[in-house]
Amino acid sequence: MLTEELRFSTRGEIDLVDITRDIEEIVEKSEIKNGQVLVFVPGATGAIVTIEHENDLLEDFKRVLRELVPKGAGYKHDIIDNNAHSHLRASLLGSSLVLPIVDGKVVRGLWQQIFFVELDVRPRRRRLVVQIMGD
């Protein structure tokens, strides 16, 4: 088993950061041939997803998030931090992703990339935990 951290900065709501290559490099470094890689966000306003890295699709993704969970829709938490929509969007998307490793490579579809989604209302310094298990 290997546990690593990935650190980077975001631009704030709704920033999509392609971390595919970073995850693949950590897996390669681990020398684990067959197993799983877990990518986890320790935080309540970030998410991990897979989606094609195509600009129009990424813009569609942002639009759908804004439509599904609109900002300023009278959420009770907004009285505290004015970012309830950030927490709700993150909860819907999820804080972790598990991908298989076969023959030392992360298994993913041809157009499937791994993205961190910044959902908080301001730029953040983020930390992801990447844990690899296997043989």
For residue range 73-120, list pLDDT tens digits in order. 999 998 888 999 999 999 999 999 999 999 999 999 999 999 999 999
Which residues, 6 or more positions from 73, have their beta carbon under 8 angstroms from its beta carbon? 85
**Domain boundaries of the chain, sorted by first residue:** 2-134
CATH number for the domain whose boundaries are 2-134: 2.60.120.460
Among 84, 108, 110, 99, CA closest to 133:
99
pLDDT in tens, 41-72: 999 999 999 999 999 999 999 999 999 999 99
**Phi-psi bin for 64: left (phi > 0), alpha (psi -120 to 50), beta?**
alpha
- What is the Cα–Cα distance from 84 to 17, expressed in whole angstroms? 22
